[in-house]
């Protein structure tokens, strides 16, 4: 069954929350804050075939925008910002 929005958005990760992995976070003084970390299991990945290039998701062609810190700061993933890094052996 297709996910809501399939074909109109970049890849959609279909997840299932695991109730045992909902964690209330603590502030810098160790006190509980009203912020939660929810971990989930990815149970399906839905990608519009037009977003694939040679069978691989086209990260640069997707127009991905991310939060970058601050209330209004965002950044777009662009081809010119790509770099390679050799993993240590």
Does residue 58 belong to any structural domain of this protein?
Answer: yes
Q: Which pLDDT score is estimated for 4?
A: 53
Closest-CA residue to 61 (of 46, 50, 47): 50
Q: Which residues of 48-68 are buried (b: 16+ CB within 10 A; e: fewer)?
A: eeebeeeeeeeeeeeeeeeee
Query: How many domains in the chain?
Result: 1
pLDDT band at 3 (very low <50, low <70, confident <90, very high): very low
Does residue 88 belong to any structural domain of this protein?
Answer: no
Does residue 89 belong to any structural domain of this protein?
Answer: no
- The count of residues in the chain is 89
Does residue 4 belong to any structural domain of this protein?
Answer: no
Tell me the sheet residues that pair with 48. none
Does residue 86 belong to any structural domain of this protein?
Answer: no
Q: Could you tell me the pTM of the whole model?
A: 0.51
Q: Can you tell me the distance from the alpha carbon of 48 to that of 1, in angstroms, rounded to the nearest whole number?
A: 14
Domain that holds residue 61: 12-81
Does residue 48 belong to any structural domain of this protein?
Answer: yes
Q: Can you tell me the distance from the alpha carbon of 51 to that of 63, in angstroms, rounded to the nearest whole number?
A: 11
pLDDT, tens digit, 9 for 90 and up, residues 34-80:
999 988 888 888 888 888 999 998 989 888 899 998 889 999 999 99
Q: Residue 80, SS3?
A: helix
Does residue 87 belong to any structural domain of this protein?
Answer: no
Does residue 57 belong to any structural domain of this protein?
Answer: yes
pLDDT, tens digit, 9 for 90 and up, residues 27-44:
999 999 999 998 888 888
């Amino acid at each position: 069954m297709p996910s809501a929005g399939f074909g109109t958005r970049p890849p959609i990760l279909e997840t299932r929350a695991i109730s045992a992995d909902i964690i209330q976070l603590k502030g810098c003084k160790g006190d509980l804050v009203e912020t939660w970390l929810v971990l989930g299991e990815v149970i399906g990945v839905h990608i519009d075939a037009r977003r694939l290039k040679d069978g691989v998701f086209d990260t640069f062609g997707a127009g991905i925008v991310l939060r970058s810190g601050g209330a209004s700061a965002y950044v777009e993933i662009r081809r010119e910002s790509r770099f390679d890094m050799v993993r240590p052996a």
